[in-house]
Chains A and B, each alone.
Chain A
Amino acid sequence: GAGVSQSPSNKVTEKGKDVELRCDPISGHTALYWYRQSLGQGLEFLIYFQGNSAPDKSGLPSDRFSAERTGGSVSTLTIQRTQQEDSAVYLCASSLLGQFFGDSPLHFGNGTRLTVT
């Protein structure tokens, strides 16, 4: 079946512009996560959705970052007034139930590579 799909795969934007990154999780997966991966670094947690609610937004680095999820499916991560330090790969992942409920595994998309010039 289809995996987690992210678009665009690459995005180059000018400093100060807003960007939207999209994630289509695996059908039926109630939990959705956004992570950020900077060059040579591990995966940094940003936000977790259970259904359309976000019980954990603790990883969002600033108020320029926001995310929403609609219909228990598609999610959009928005970065306003982008800065060069926002350059990274943004990864979306989904799981059937969510880590809190039974440790169902995370399935990752291939990410969006964001470059801020």
Chain B
Amino acid sequence: GENVEQHPSTLSVQEGDSAVIKCTYSDSASNYFPWYKQELGKGPQLIIDIRSNVGEKKDQRIAVTLNKTAKHFSLHITETQPEDSAVYFCAGNGAGSYQLTFGKGTKLSVIP
């Protein structure tokens, strides 16, 4: 099945700086890669996703890039704000799979 690895496990940035979180996946047939943000005491919330037919997608301060050859994808957050502080999870769907396989998460802290 699919295996997703996520780095770093923790990340601290100054407010206004950029943050980058990277994930690799094992199943070359995976074609859907969402990113979720989880705040304390809440369930994960989808913030952006990308499908394998595109290389990059942007939504305001958030962007995701996908390199199918290398089997890795990254989340980029620009002009970080304190409210960006949370745990971020990447995921991949695997071939013919009904489930998403998640990375172990990155705890992002934005220092005012």
State the A residues within 8 Å of B (CB): 4, 31, 33, 35, 41-43, 45, 48, 50, 55-56, 59, 91, 93, 98-100, 103, 105-111
Contacts and interface: CB of A to CB of B under 8 A. Distances in A.
Interface stretch (B14-22, B59-67, B77-85, B100-108): B100-108
A105 B34 contact: yes
Give the interface size bracket for B toward A: 20 to 34
A31 B32 CA distance: 17
B102 A43 contact: yes
Of A48, A50, A103, A107, the most chain B CB neighbours within 10 A belong to A103
A99 B104 contact: no
Contacts of B93: 99, 103
Given A42-B89, A43-B89, A103-B51, A48 B98 contact: yes
Contacts of A4: 43
Contacts of B36: 108
B43 A108 contact: yes
A42 B98 contact: no
Interface of B: 6, 31-32, 34, 36, 41-46, 49, 51, 89, 91, 93, 96-105
Contact of B100 (A41, A50, A106, A111): A106
A42 B103 contact: yes
A50 B99 CA distance: 12
B99 A99 contact: yes
Nearest to B33: A103
A35 B98 CA distance: 13
B95 to A, nearest CB: 10
Per CB-CB distance, the 6 closest pairs between chain A and chain B, nearest first, are A108-B43, A42-B104, A103-B32, A43-B102, A42-B102, A45-B99
A56 B51 contact: no
Contacts of B44: 43, 91, 108
29 contacts: A4-B43, A33-B99, A41-B104, A41-B105, A42-B6, A42-B89, A42-B103, A42-B104, A42-B105, A45-B100, A56-B98, A59-B99, A91-B43, A98-B98, A99-B32, A99-B93, A99-B97, A99-B98, A99-B100, A103-B31, A103-B49, A103-B93, A105-B34, A105-B46, A106-B46, A106-B100, A108-B36, A110-B43, A111-B43
